[in-house]
Structure 1
Amino acid sequence: MSEPDPCFLSTDELLSSVVSEVVEIRVREHAVLRKLAELDRRGAAEELGYKDLPQVLRHAVRWDLKTARQWLANAHALSHEITPTGSRLEPDLPVTAAAVAEGTLSTDHISAVAEVMKKLPAEAEGPVVEFAQAHEPSAVRSFGKELAYRLYQDDPEPRDTEPAPPTNQHVMRWKGECLEIWAKLDKITGAKYEALLDPLAKPRPETLEEGPDLRTRSEREGDALAELVDLMLRADQLPEHGGEPVSLTLTMRYEDLVSQAGQAMLDNRERIPAAEARQLACNAGIIPLVLGERSQPMDIGRKARTFPAAIRRVLVARDQGCAFPGCERPPKHCDAHHVRFWSNGGETSVDNAVLLCRNHHRLIHHSEWEIRMVQGLPRFYPPGWLDPDRAARRNVLHGFEGTQPSANRTDRTGTLTPAWVLPQPRPHPALV
């Protein structure tokens, strides 16, 4: 019998139908949770070559990692455990498990109940689940908080614990065209930071041409931080990424740089106008990395396993970060990987290399994912269980995607796509 058209149902009938179908969905979700628990128990992730089961689910059902981890946590909270001797242990939340099996609780309810039960005794699970069967998950959290207060309000106040030693924290977040920075530093590091910043943040001396310095304190300190960054980039000794000193990479067409047209892309995939790129290049000094030209050692054969800095620069210009489909990791978080493993006779060359973040580097080495170079560009082929056709995939998240590192390779306009690496000791002649 076909499903009746919702247009011909009364409001009561529609609501009743929705409730009935949601209950069926929740029952099916309980079946999924049981299967997830069994997959994790038998070590399916290791069998498939993945780090853990959430990474498998990320590809199998296209869940975000946060969602996959939450489902797995719920699965463990509701599933029976089998000991090495074969004994069957009750789940952590047996009352919740029974309610979920009947379809009266959603996965969000499970998370809320599990959260509040961390602060409540086991015998409180019954009242919490009974409340959850009549209220939304946010109300369950409030109920659990109130219940905990009533249970423990007469307990003695806990003794003050020794304060934890301060830790340095730093947060960066792009908002529009600006990078917002928040930092929390210990006393010693904070004092060093102040000592570095204060001399650069002093008001400029008043002059006849410019008048007094009208910048606010926050503006002066912001400019001082920008100057400090420039000073660090010009320093003789810097920390390393991928075997070479920290550098800033801009990728754009050479003609655009000279004519101050178009855009350049930074190594964090933010775009800036070509005119700003030209000014930045003139101030810092650059050397062009025209892909494959200026006798860069693009291929060093079998004599070395590790990739030299020159080859890594070309990989950064070509891949713009982790090349695995869907990954947004920037180049500084990536390793250079031999497409044909070095241990199997693969050469250390651009045509046998790809940038991969640590997670996907491990995945390629331990799973059935394959990489092949197609017209000089990496293509990824998923395992048969994920895609029976094993159709080729590529990463479409990075800008300037698919730049071939060869002197004869051109883009759609017939123009070579070079990358300039900052800072370097001498400027490009075209910019002098």
Structure 2
Amino acid sequence: MNCIKAATLFKGSFCLYIFLLAIWITKFLNVTAEKLPPASQFVSLPSSGIFQPIEISPSVLPTYPFPGKNLPPMYPSIPKTYKPVLTGRCPFNFSSISNIMDKTASDCSQLIAPLVGNVICCPQFGSSLHIFQGHYTKDSDSLVLQNTTADDCFLDIVEVLASRGANSSVPAMCSFKSSNLTGGSCPVKDINTFEKTVNSSKLLDACSIIDPLKECCRSVCQPAIMEAAFKISSSQSLVSENTDTGLSTHMDVLNDCKGVVYSWLSRKLPSEAADSSFRILSACKVNKVCPLEFKQPVEVIKACRNVSASGPSCCSSLNSYIGGVQRQMLITNRQAILCASFLGSMLRKGGVLTDIYELCDVDLKDFSLQAYGENEGCLLRSLPADVVYDNSSGFSFTCDLSDNIAAPWPSSSSMTSFSLCAPEMFTALHYQNQRRIPWAAMGFFWIFL
């Protein structure tokens, strides 16, 4: 009753809607929490440096207050009546890769895509393009599509995904074009020449089944793909109109040839196996770079340059700065380490030599989007993960919350020698939390923060 009285005071104002939405979310959030038992207080990182999930029987919190009734969905269901308007010029039966298209549409759903693009959506979209290319060319001698056909099919792919709930701006967001299906400037585009040039059995053995815990630091598939791409890119002399741009031209050819290698693998592997392999390779790539944008932390440097003990002005300035950074997107635990180290190096360059992360209690999860307004940063797993959808709870993310893991303060202002595969990164963790966060919680606080 008190809630109703309070809401009545705001009647007719915008505050009423925010107030009621906050109450609704508080009542209906469905959170699954998983914790290590107290006996396992410390866990060592595996030799690959990737945080592993902890599988413990979940408990559901909070309890739904109206037993016997269905839990309202957190997000509108995926459209089922929208019919894609296809070009009619792409001769391909998309039902042959329906599972891949469904997964891509879910991972790149309309409102979620901008928040998970770097880690979930774009890697899955890229994988779906490779798999489409392999399936399209499976019954021909070619490993690529002709330019006109690629244009038509690319439009159809986007339209089919949009009809299943995907964001139609994903190609621009992820920097993919129809030319990614054509092989570009790669000199080898037919399967006969490819298999004569490349050690195909070695390539298939290396990439059929990839160990997600080893590939990023002790690569097997990645060097095999690079070797194959280099061989087909060097199969004939490359002539550049401008010798000054010869190096960049060869790099472009090498990247185009990698697309041809992916197409060949897509022809040889089952769709799910290919998707798993391609996603792991993408995870290795995205987890090497912090995707966040940092403006110069001028105010933080000014407030913290000479601090030697925890001070209100320094910590307030630092928390305010990080609060602006964390609104950008969801990031993985490994990306959080890089982002924290990058910001730390910027601060050290500005003259802040004291570990202000420790002084101000800054954790890794503080660099990712916050779930419940504050102190609930969702760190996504560094291993490939998907957005989960069901009719009762809507869209949700599997978060890898490493509670009380302090953000690493760099030993110098340089990031040149930093490596997530270095032995010093294999430190002991406090217990890991793994939660599934419904999209509604993330969306509400992302919009109104």
Q: Mark yes or no: TM-score above 0.5.
A: no
Greater RCO (Cα-Cα under 8 Å, separation 6 or more): 2
The structure number with the bigger radius of gyration is 1
State the TM bucket, normalised to the shorter chain. Answer: under 0.3
